[in-house]
Amino acid sequence: MGAGDFRRAVENQNLDAAIAELAPGVTFRSPVVFKPYEGRDMVAVLLRAVFEVFEDFRYEAEVASGDREVLMFRARIGEREVEGADFLRFDEDGLITEMVVMVRPMSGVHALAERMKAMLEAAGAA
């Protein structure tokens, strides 16, 4: 169990490998939308958009406790520098069952929301 494989996949920009780390019924909680996204297929669409929106993405630290891990990151969205955290929960097979993303500062959240909305609309998922 742990975020190692997911982290490596994201850092290597290997979307398929990142998606493979998700449980079929994964729940994704966005920093900009109240209602969670459910299921691997929907979360795959979101991750695809995130891979496009975040530039210079890098994980800087991770903290683990039981079936949960937090991956802290920094990235850029256009001219906005952001920092955030992926809060991950794992099942007994080591797959991610829940992913909660938090981002700061507020200006970065607004930039993220605008770019993600455009990406999801273009993908027909918004």
Domain 4-122 has CATH 3.10.450.50: yes
Partners of 71 in beta bridges: 62, 86
pLDDT at residue 114, rounded to an integer: 85
pLDDT confidence of residue 125: 62
Scan for tokens 């209602």, then name that residue.
35
Q: What percent of the chain has pLDDT over 70?
A: 96
CB 82 within 8 A of CB 75: yes
Given a cut of 50, the residues of the chain with pLDDT beneath it are none
Domain spans of the chain? Answer: 4-122
